[in-house]
């Protein structure tokens, strides 16, 4: 009963984060700025003299001579190396008090991404030469993840606007992006996981190891981004839930997506295999506790990464399969094959068949629930060549088998 409750809780949490139909929601941020409303207006109004205050906008020009429509050339790099451009339409413009804006075209994303999106600015002058600025974004959301991201992004933008308007200085980045902050988040994650493994030295070792494994997994994704030509890559640590690696531009090819998704587990496969080989070579000369620690680290590394390769739509395994096969039939056959191999691995570990069947059903349900809510690019990604398809398929098989073998080996040593 406890296992079923845990599975149901996990499925429910993932569904809420990734796929829950939240409907049309608004997120807002309000900030008190110690300057005149006209100064803030020049920064937030797309055609304002200071529209590039935060460095995100290179320049703006009206379309067809209409002051209510225009094109923003951003400072962000698109998949073709050129700046991303967005067309917009303005509504209810009342200078210097506010306006509403919607995007009508995007050089990077399909228009469906902006179909229900609205951005609103309201500036209320106050006595003493101050003003209150209210920013609001309204959109339709599936899953809480992007909703929460928009909430914090809007709050951070409001804070940076206040600093710029009052001092004339724009502060790049933020506290959250600093390496020290991410290290602190990793530490918090390890401490939050500690009670789950037992509040003793061994429990702390397990939680710290899992946190390090997550970080190594995300480093693999970051390395893939750089190898694919991204000028930057960064990691965001989310306590308890894991981590997220972000590239410096949108994906351009299916091979790039598959390679970046595979490299998380692929990078860690070298560690898992090295730990397995090191134990075989050095176990006789190591203290029993140290030898056991090597096996435990290998087990956690293999289990976490094999789980990420599960054929769930939003997991790494599901991403790789989606790029390998364009048809639903091909994706279904590949996902079923990978799932059968994972169930077989569990049976080889001694897990009862009925539990593995339940786990397989959970994975299948997660895959269905999280399907179809991804962001569509403006034009389809470049298809893989035959050689690229073979390379990604071989890599998926090799990485999956490596982690499965290390998992069976480590469990056999620890629980024999």
Domain membership of residue 86 (yes or no) is yes
Are 210 and 264 spatial neighbours (Cβ–Cβ below 8 Å)? no
> What does the chain come to in residues?
416
Domain membership of residue 8 (yes or no) is no
Range of the domain at 257: 177-415
The total number of structural domains in the chain stands at: 2
Are 265 and 223 spatial neighbours (Cβ–Cβ below 8 Å)? no
| The predicted structure's pLDDT at residue 373 | 61
Phi, psi of 41 (to 5 degrees): -60, -45
155, 173, 191: which is the final residue of a domain? 173
Token readout for 215 is: 């970080």
233 with 338, same domain: the answer is yes
169 with 181, same domain: the answer is no
Domain membership of residue 18 (yes or no) is no
**What letters, b where the CB count within 10 A reaches 16 and e where it falls short, cover 44-59?**
bbbebebbbbbeebee
240 with 98, same domain: the answer is no
Token readout for 392 is: 């990604």
| The predicted structure's pLDDT at residue 67 | 79
What is 290-337 written as a DSSP string?
HHHHHHHHHHHHHHHHHHHTS--TTSHHHHHHHHH--SHHHHHHHHHH
125, 150, 173: which is the final residue of a domain? 173
| The predicted structure's pLDDT at residue 186 | 86
What is 167-199 written as a DSSP string?
HS----S-GGGSHHHHHHHHHHHHHHHHHHH-S
91 with 221, same domain: the answer is no
User: How big is the chain by its Cα radius of gyration, in Å?
Assistant: 25
| The predicted structure's pLDDT at residue 369 | 66
221 with 346, same domain: the answer is yes
Domain membership of residue 382 (yes or no) is yes
Domain membership of residue 191 (yes or no) is yes
149, 173, 197: which is the final residue of a domain? 173
287 with 213, same domain: the answer is yes
215 with 129, same domain: the answer is no
CA distance 351 to 354: 9
CA–centroid distance for 335 within its chain: 22
pTM > 0.85: yes or no: no
121 with 234, same domain: the answer is no
Give the CATH number of the domain where residue 159 resides: 3.30.530.20
Domain membership of residue 11 (yes or no) is no
Domain membership of residue 13 (yes or no) is no
Helices and strands, counts by H and E, the chain: 11, 9
Domain membership of residue 19 (yes or no) is no
188 with 167, same domain: the answer is no
185 with 107, same domain: the answer is no
39 with 115, same domain: the answer is yes
Token readout for 168 is: 């004339």
Phi, psi of 367 (to 5 degrees): -60, -45
Q: Mean pLDDT per segment of 10 residues, for the chain of length 416 residues?
A: 62 76 92 95 94 90 86 88 92 94 92 93 94 96 86 91 93 73 85 87 92 93 92 81 82 93 94 89 77 91 92 86 90 87 86 76 70 74 92 95 94 83
Token readout for 230 is: 């991204």
219 with 336, same domain: the answer is yes
């Amino acid at each position: 009963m406890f296992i079923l409750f845990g599975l149901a809780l996990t499925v429910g949490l993932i569904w809420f984060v990734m796929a829950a139909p939240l409907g049309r929601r608004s997120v807002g941020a309000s900030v008190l700025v110690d300057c005149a409303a006209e100064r803030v207006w020049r920064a937030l109004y797309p055609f304002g003299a200071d529209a590039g205050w935060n460095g995100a906008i290179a320049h703006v020009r009206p379309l067809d001579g209409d002051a209510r429509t225009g094109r923003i050339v951003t400072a962000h790099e698109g998949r073709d190396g050129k700046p991303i451009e967005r067309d917009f339409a303005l509504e209810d413009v009342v200078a210097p008090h506010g306006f509403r804006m919607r995007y009508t075209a995007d050089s990077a994303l399909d228009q469906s991404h902006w179909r229900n999106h609205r951005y609103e600015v309201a500036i209320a002058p106050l006595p003493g030469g101050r003003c209150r600025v209210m920013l609001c974004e309204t959109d339709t959301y599936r899953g809480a993840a992007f909703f929460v991201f928009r909430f914090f992004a809007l709050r951070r933008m409001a804070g940076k606007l206040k600093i710029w308007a009052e001092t004339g200085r724009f502060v790049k980045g933020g506290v959250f992006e600093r390496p020290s902050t991410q290290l602190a988040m990793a530490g918090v994650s390890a401490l939050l996981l500690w009670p789950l493994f037992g509040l003793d030295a061994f429990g702390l070792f397990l939680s710290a190891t899992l946190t390090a494994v997550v970080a190594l997994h995300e480093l693999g994704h970051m390395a893939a981004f750089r190898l694919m030509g991204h000028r930057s890559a960064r990691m965001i640590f989310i306590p308890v839930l894991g981590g997220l690696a972000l590239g410096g531009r949108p994906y351009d090819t299916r091979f790039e997506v598959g390679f970046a998704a595979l490299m998380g587990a692929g990078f860690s496969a070298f560690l898992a295999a090295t730990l397995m080989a090191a134990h075989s070579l050095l176990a006789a000369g190591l203290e029993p506790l140290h030898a056991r620690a090597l096996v435990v680290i290998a087990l956690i590394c293999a289990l976490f990464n094999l789980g990420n390769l599960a054929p769930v739509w939003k997991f790494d395994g599901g991403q790789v399969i989606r790029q390998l096969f364009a048809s639903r039939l091909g994706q279904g056959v590949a996902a079923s094959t990978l799932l059968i191999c994972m169930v077989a691995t569990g049976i080889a570990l001694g897990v009862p068949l009925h539990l593995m069947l339940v786990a397989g059903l959970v994975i299948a349900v997660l895959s269905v629930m999280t399907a179809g809510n991804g962001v569509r690019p403006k034009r389809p990604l470049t298809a893989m060549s035959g050689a690229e398809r073979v390379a990604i398929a071989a890599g998926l098989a090799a990485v999956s088998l490596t982690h499965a073998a290390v998992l069976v080996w480590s469990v056999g040593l620890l629980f024999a």
